[in-house]
């Protein structure tokens, strides 16, 4: 029997494909996948479209179950899945629609350096960053916190780090939700989650988390680039990390509890990994309050990581980070659920928008944006793999109309980690990266193989789809120079 997904996919246009509501009895809405013909072949391989159809069973789901072009198989929801439920009419919240690494996300910093000015320093920078920033499974950081402080982090998020001297007020303005979601309840978080998180502030973690030194190699919107102080050849830094063990435990604790909610609230879903509860139920409120804690922890973590990055550059160049122009462009969340207002069929509604491996992409003028981005729209950061490009884009009005203000979050896996380990030769991979002048340092050779370019879709193809579909607008493209991984 073929592993290729055989379900129906109706072509809407070159960038949209529909799974009709008639595909499975119980689907409340159709599924819509953003892709082109080339990406669709890969998307069919891991049966993630079946998960798109399964998400369409959720009570209160509005319009459609969405999937971005980086879609691949995940827990419950596909990674790259977006779904919005009606808060006022029995809509649910599902931990599987957020993921285990709650608020895994990316932040992008600029510098004043041109590539030619620091090309000879890339290896030194990578070594210093690898030395200064703890990475790998179970890594522990130098930023120690008491249990009282940990509770503060879960409420204040990135602001806690700024108040400790690990950044400036401007950093908060350039962070989604200003670095903290209101309504976080530290008492909704288990002792086990606290235990797992207490030594991990300012740590990168493992897997696909990374810190990357990059150079801008293509400009698409020169006017926006000028407003942001970005130019060809400029050095940027991208940091990708999440809520570490604390977020994982919050998800694990709530998934187990929510399975009981399926019977309690008479919810019928085809996959128990879609366990959920009405947003206005005790279980739904408890999960949302705990999820916000993990999200705030992740923002504090990335703020601390940026502080350590700035400090590493200061060590190498013997200058202050301010004089090197190391200012934050933006920080976006990937795995999160948000209560937002959206226009549905001409009516403003309160929705719970699940973004699982997807990025918020709010349009110009949106009230959630800081003044500096009101005119251009929310910056959207889409990293690729360590051998190819990454992108800065901005949100659009079309994203507000079609995707609840969402776009893709990365390239999307082609091979599982185990398949990559079986099929990719580490020595050949390292030679190829070296030939492209990309220097990589990781805590283990296995991590490098698991995250090899061949394990991912080409991010250039993925970004082509979201740009052509109009749900994000390209600003500039970066190429990797030096990478540290867990």
H-helix or E-strand spanning residue 331: strand 328-333
DSSP 329: E
Q: Is 16 a catalytic residue?
A: no
**C-alpha distance from residue 276 to each of 114, 127, 243 (Å):** 49, 44, 21
For residues 32 and 16, is the Cβ–Cβ distance under 8 A? yes
**C-alpha distance from residue 423 to each of 32, 289, 331, 429, 455 (Å):** 32, 42, 34, 11, 10
Question: Which alpha helices (DSSP H) does 98-166 contain, by range?
Answer: 115-118, 122-132, 147-156, 158-163
Sign of CA dihedral 147, 151, 154, 159: negative
Q: Pick the catalytic residue from 209, 334, 366, 409.
A: 409
- Within a 10 A sphere around the Cβ of 75, how many other Cβ atoms? 19
Determine the Cα–Cα distance for residues 434 and 148; give it in Å rounded to an integer: 46
Q: Compute the half-sphere exposure of residue 20: CA atoms within 13 Å on the CB side of its CA.
A: 7
Determine the Cα–Cα distance for residues 263 and 283; give it in Å rounded to an integer: 13
Token digits of residue 452: 């090899």
Closest alpha carbon to 56 in 79, 82, 77, 27: 27
**Which residue carries 């998800």 as its tokens?**
251
- Within a 10 A sphere around the Cβ of 73, how many other Cβ atoms? 16
| Sequential DSSP letters for 159-216 | HHHHHTTSS-HHHHHTBGGGG--TT--GGGS-HHHHHHHTT-TT---STT-EEEEEEE
Q: Angle 282-317/147-156 helices, nearest 10 degrees?
A: 100
For residues 213 and 126, is the Cβ–Cβ distance under 8 A? yes
Q: What are the catalytic residues?
A: 409
């Amino acid at each position: 029997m073929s592993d290729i997904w055989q379900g129906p996919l109706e072509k809407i246009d070159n960038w949209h494909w529909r799974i009709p509501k008639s595909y499975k009895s119980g689907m409340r809405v159709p599924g819509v996948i953003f892709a082109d013909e080339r990406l669709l072949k890969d998307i069919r391989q891991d049966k993630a479209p079946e998960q798109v159809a399964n998400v369409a069973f959720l009570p209160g789901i509005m319009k459609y179950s969405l999937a971005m072009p980086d879609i691949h198989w995940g827990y419950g929801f596909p990674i790259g899945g977006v779904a919005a439920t009606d808060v006022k009419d029995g809509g649910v919240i599902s931990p599987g629609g957020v993921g285990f690494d709650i608020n895994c996300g990316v932040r992008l910093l600029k510098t004043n350096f041109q590539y030619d000015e620091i090309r000879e320093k890339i290896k030194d920078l990578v070594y210093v960053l690898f030395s200064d920033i703890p990475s790998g499974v179970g890594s522990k950081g130098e930023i120690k916190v008491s249990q009282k402080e940990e509770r503060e982090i879960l409420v204040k998020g990135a602001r806690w780090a700024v108040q400790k001297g690990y950044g400036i007020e401007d950093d908060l303005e350039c962070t989604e939700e200003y670095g903290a979601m209101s309504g976080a309840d530290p008492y909704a978080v288990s002792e086990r989650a606290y235990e797992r998180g207490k030594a991990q502030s300012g740590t990168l973690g493992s897997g696909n988390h990374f810190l990357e030194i990059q150079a801008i190699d293509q400009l698409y919107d020169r006017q926006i680039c000028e407003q942001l102080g970005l130019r060809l050849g400029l050095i940027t830094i991208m940091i990708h990390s999440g809520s570490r063990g604390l977020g994982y435990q919050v998800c694990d604790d709530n998934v187990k509890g929510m399975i009981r909610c399926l019977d309690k609230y008479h919810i019928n879903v085809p996959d128990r990994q879609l366990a959920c509860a009405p947003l206005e139920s005790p279980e739904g409120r408890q999960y949302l309050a705990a999820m916000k804690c993990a999200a705030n922890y992740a923002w504090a973590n990335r703020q601390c990581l940026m502080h350590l990055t700035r400090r590493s550059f200061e060590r190498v160049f013997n200058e202050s980070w301010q004089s090197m122009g190391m200012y934050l462009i933006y920080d976006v969340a990937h795995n999160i659920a948000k209560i937002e207002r959206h226009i549905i069929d001409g009516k403003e509604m309160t929705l719970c928008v699940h973004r699982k491996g997807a990025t918020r992409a709010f349009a110009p003028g949106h009230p959630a944006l800081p003044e500096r981005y009101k005119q251009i729209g929310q910056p959207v950061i889409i990293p690729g793999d360590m051998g190819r490009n990454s992108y800065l884009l901005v949100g659009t009005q079309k994203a507000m109309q079609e995707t609840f203000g969402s776009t893709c979050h990365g390239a999307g896996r082609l091979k599982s980690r185990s398949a990559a380990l079986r099929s990719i030769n580490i020595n050949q991979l390292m030679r190829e990266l070296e030939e492209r002048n990309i220097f990589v340092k990781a805590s283990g050779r296995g991590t490098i193989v698991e995250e090899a370019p061949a394990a991912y879709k080409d991010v250039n193809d993925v970004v082509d789809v979201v740009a052509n579909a109009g749900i994000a607008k390209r600003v500039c493209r970066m190429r990797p120079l030096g990478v540290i991984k867990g």
